[in-house]
Chains A and B, each alone.
Chain A
Amino acid sequence: MDFLFDYIAHNTYWTILLIIHGLLAVALLGALTHQAMSVLVPVRQAAGSAGFVTRFRAVPAPGYAAAVCVLWIATFIFGAWIYSEYRIYVRIPIEQAGFWKTQGSFEMKEHLATIGLGLLPIYWYLWKNSGNADYQSARKWVTVYLAGACWFIFLVGKVVNNVRGFGS
């Protein structure tokens, strides 16, 4: 990778990776939120013209499963890639400033990202068999868990970036 730094500044390189990581996370968050809403408050019948919230949860949820898996893996890889830079240039100043809650939240973020990764095969299987009523409860709670984890991971990433991220 060192040859890249002949053409691009060190900060720019890591900033590009961070932005890609963030954009992938936004796409993942959107997909999982749609899916979680569709299982938590499913649309039962069309009564009159559908409003924004109804349309938001009336998505064809099974079609999101493969995309969610690909996005989680891609976001995870980019996150793991920039993590080594975070460990030196972000976490050490966070520790020096005594932002222990921020640092602890980031540790939860890394735990949830790995645990979520492990859930992807069963999540995919449950959605590929979305017609099977026996899987309804597991499908619902695995999806809600992943969506909740994704929201937590995303918001902690945002807070850490605010503490010491882009351009610092």
Chain B
Amino acid sequence: MSTTAHTAPAATTAKSLASSGKFKTFAVVFGFSTAALYVACDMMGWPLFSYHPATNRLEWFYAPPRKGEGPVMYWYGWTATSMLGAATLGVLATFLPEQLTRRIPLALVWIVPGPGDPTAVLFADAVLDALAQG
């Protein structure tokens, strides 16, 4: 029986991710983009798919309720749209030069989902109200 201590592959991967500048860029952009895109998806009605729970029916993008088939759920679709969009932005950001990505403020990861999202919703509501009133 061997008594040699081996580092688990998962631990090695975690350690290399934790010291990777590219992973940091991805995580920062993914974090604040998810918060921003999710609110946009909800307000604009951009689900990747719609789900009819009573009939187990899935439809791509926004689908209105069908007569006699109960309610439609968009949350799964909004989550998918925002996650995919944020992941795409995060991956694209890793291709930017490091001197540029270093300038992305780390505070965005709590400002956007914290005070940012409710402010954006109130602002968008006010703009939509103003547009509706002509």
- Interface residues, chain A, with chain B CB atoms under 8 Å away: 66, 80, 83-85, 87-88, 91-92, 110-111, 114-115, 117-119, 121-125, 128-129, 134-135, 137-138, 141-142, 144-145
Contacts and interface: CB of A to CB of B under 8 A. Distances in A.
Contacts of B51: 84
Given A84-B73, A135-B106, A125 B35 contact: no
Interface in B20-62: 23-24, 26-28, 30-31, 33-35, 38-39, 42, 51, 53-54
Interface of B: 14, 17-19, 23-24, 26-28, 30-31, 33-35, 38-39, 42, 51, 53-54, 70-71, 73, 75-76, 78-79, 82-83, 86, 106-107, 109-110, 113-114, 117
Given A114-B82, A115-B113, A138-B107, A125 B34 contact: no
A111 B10 CA distance: 31
A121 B31 contact: yes
Contacts of B82: 114, 118
Contacts of A85: 53
Nearest to B79: A114
A110 B110 CA distance: 18
A144 B106 CA distance: 15
25 contacts: A83-B73, A84-B73, A87-B53, A87-B73, A111-B38, A114-B78, A114-B79, A114-B83, A115-B35, A115-B38, A117-B79, A117-B83, A118-B38, A118-B83, A118-B113, A121-B27, A121-B30, A122-B24, A123-B31, A124-B27, A125-B23, A137-B106, A137-B107, A138-B109, A141-B110
A115 B26 contact: no
Nearest to B23: A125
A32 B77 CA distance: 28
B112 to A, nearest CB: 9
Which of A66, A115, A135 gathers the greatest number of chain B CB atoms within 10 Å?
Answer: A115
A interface majority secondary structure: helix
A128 B14 contact: yes
A80 B114 CA distance: 23
Nearest to B113: A115
A88 B70 CA distance: 8
B124 to A, nearest CB: 14
A124 B30 CA distance: 13
Nearest to A129: B18
Given A88-B71, A119-B113, A128 B79 contact: no
B75 A138 contact: no
A151 B58 CA distance: 32
Which residue of A115, A118, A134, A137 has the most chain B CB atoms within 10 A of its CB atom?
A: A118
Given A84-B73, A87-B73, A88-B71, A121 B26 contact: yes
